[in-house]
A and B are shown apart, each in its own frame.
Chain A
Amino acid sequence: MGKTIVCQCEDVTQGDLEDAFEQGFRDLESLKRYTGLATGLCQGKCCIAHAARFLAALKGGDEAAADPPRTRPLLQPTPISCFAGPEELSASPASREGQK
């Protein structure tokens, strides 16, 4: 064992971050692309913050991590059946009345 896990989904370790930084991947987007961090099932919910703090500490400032990598829909794994249904224009109570 003896690993400090940063990203649990993709098994990215603190050592991986250090190595990537050494090789010149010194912003969040490049760190993500090189190590695979934040590309797993949870899409960075738990590891982006670690990587950002790692960069801010090494580069000496919060600006180093200012821009998080682009976050794209969907927020969580969702069955395709959620999007396969017919569309109903709603007559639900909360729907049309509010709109003027």
Chain B
Amino acid sequence: MARARRLDRSSDNPYPHGEQVEFQYEGRPMLGQAGEPLAVALLAGGVRIFGRSIKYHRPRSPFCLHGHCSGCLLRVDGLPNVRSCRTALRAGMQVERQLGWPGSGRDLFRTLDWVYGERLDHHSLLTSSGTLARMAMGFVRKMAGFGHPPTAEPGPPAPKRRMSVPAVVIGAGLAGLHAAVELGQAGHRVVVLEAEELAGGRLCDASCKLAGATGWAARRELLSRLSALPGVELRLGTPALAVYGDQAVLQVLAAGPDETLALEPQRLVVATGAYAPLPQFEDNDLPGVLGPRALDRLVCGHGVLPGEPVLIAGDAQETLELAAALVERGIALAGLVTDRPEPELPAQLRTAKVPRVAGHRILRARGGRWVQRVELAPAGRETPDLVLDCGLVAAEAPAAPAFELAHHAGCRVVFRSALGHLVQTDAEGHTSHGQVLAAGHCAGAGSAEEARLQGQRAGLACALGLKDEPGLRQRLAALKA
């Protein structure tokens, strides 16, 4: 297995790039780049196992790198359960792993996973006698759970700011930014809440292509248009936490870097995107198996390659573009598992002779502490006929739209097998809640193009809801045609 390495970064890369700093990992000094996510610095430093899972003590490692899973939890400066993919590296940080005995690296409790190879049914575990059950409970309490109580002093209380604004947009991704541009152009004040430190959502992905341009170029252009609009206030690092939609006034609660916001908008556009679920195959949680967008961010964005060659699996255009982006960077591919026909692949993949595996699916991942190979079987079969050695895997899984915040507000959420649970909207983005609109991947958009269009429509419809104007009406009608 190749060691982790850092790649050269191109000048148009939107991810910040700081100077080298030293921090402490499990009592040892380690180097990373200031401002990059702690998880990225650790992966670059060769760390493979970040922690242990709650029940079977299986190794855990970052999976999503977008703050949605639980693969990257660490104890940082005395605080347990810190998401290291959402924590910027600072000099002198004290970082520890938090679960396992004697430690997370080598964990004796891991044997549980092997003893209960099928499954451990905790509903019937040692319940035959009361005494036994109590002893078992005590033991389980010791070995399970997430970390230990904090030793760090609690942070200073954040001041809470209550603001009435005409419009709030949640999510500064493709749909959210386009909605904000429309609102700003129509002359409305709008606060855009973005959980990450970097605006752009999918536009930050090297695999994103929008109307022929790269996502990175489209992002620059969009952000410069946005900053020229005086009414638009973009708040980064400010996750929306809740929406209260059943009160007299609509309320959005968000936690900023140094203040908590209680926003009272007349109209709300939810553009929260979608999450990456685990792809479904045996040992899908093995470290080194990532979601495609996580791999994109880690390798193309931060320029950190923890293992090689890379296996890519999926049929989405973005997944193919990710494979192409890796080839462009001179990274070896173990294979591309896709059912898309050869002529539909990006040109780089056809010329570089990337082994393409069609009609197969991943059956299981193999490796002890990090993925080492993947077994594949023909569709409908349960025995593998192909084994590919690899040091990193990105596998697509069916979408999981981020419907929660709209659901808080009481918006109707529907389920479609192909798309997941999504916020139900009409063609203009109106949800079942009169003041709430939704756009982009949380409302079922499947591509970047579609997310952009939905964002524009919802932005216009939102502006019209605030103030009727024939010009906007015409523009919206044109976008719907």
Contacts and interface: CB of A to CB of B under 8 A. Distances in A.
Contacts of A92: 161, 163
A9 B421 CA distance: 20
A11 B71 CA distance: 12
Contact of B119 (A16, A45, A49, A88): A16
Interface in A6-43: 6, 8-11, 13-16, 19, 34, 40-42
Contacts of A53: 398, 417, 420
A42 B282 contact: no
B36 interface: no
A1 B163 contact: no
A68 B162 contact: no
Given A46-B276, A49-B400, A84 B157 contact: yes
A16 B277 CA distance: 18
A16 to B, nearest CB: 6
A96 B277 CA distance: 41
B74 to A, nearest CB: 13
Given A41-B73, A76-B241, A85 B160 contact: yes
A70 B253 CA distance: 18
A35 B413 CA distance: 23
Nearest to B277: A46
B162 A87 contact: yes
B156 interface: yes
A70 to B, nearest CB: 8
Interface in B108-148: 113-114, 117-119, 121, 123, 146
Contacts of B157: 81, 84-86
Contacts of A6: 278, 280
Contact of B160 (A47, A78, A87, A98): A87
B376 to A, nearest CB: 15
The secondary-structure label for the interface of chain A is loop
A82 B237 CA distance: 14
B256 to A, nearest CB: 9
A79 B155 contact: yes
Interface residues of A, number: 63
Contact of B163 (A13, A45, A72, A90): A90
Interface string B173-195: 00000000000000011010001
A85 B157 CA distance: 4
B162 to A, nearest CB: 6
B403 interface: yes
Given A47-B277, A73-B241, A75-B405, A8 B71 contact: yes
Contact of A8 (B70, B146, B417): B70
B350 interface: no
A51 B416 CA distance: 13
B434 to A, nearest CB: 18
B358 to A, nearest CB: 23
A15 B233 contact: no
A96 B164 contact: yes
Contacts of B70: 8-9, 40-42
Interface in B73-91: 73, 81
A99 B415 contact: no
Interface stretch (B40-48, B52-60, B298-306, B335-343): B52-60
7 contacts: A3-B58, A56-B417, A62-B414, A81-B154, A85-B259, A87-B162, A98-B166
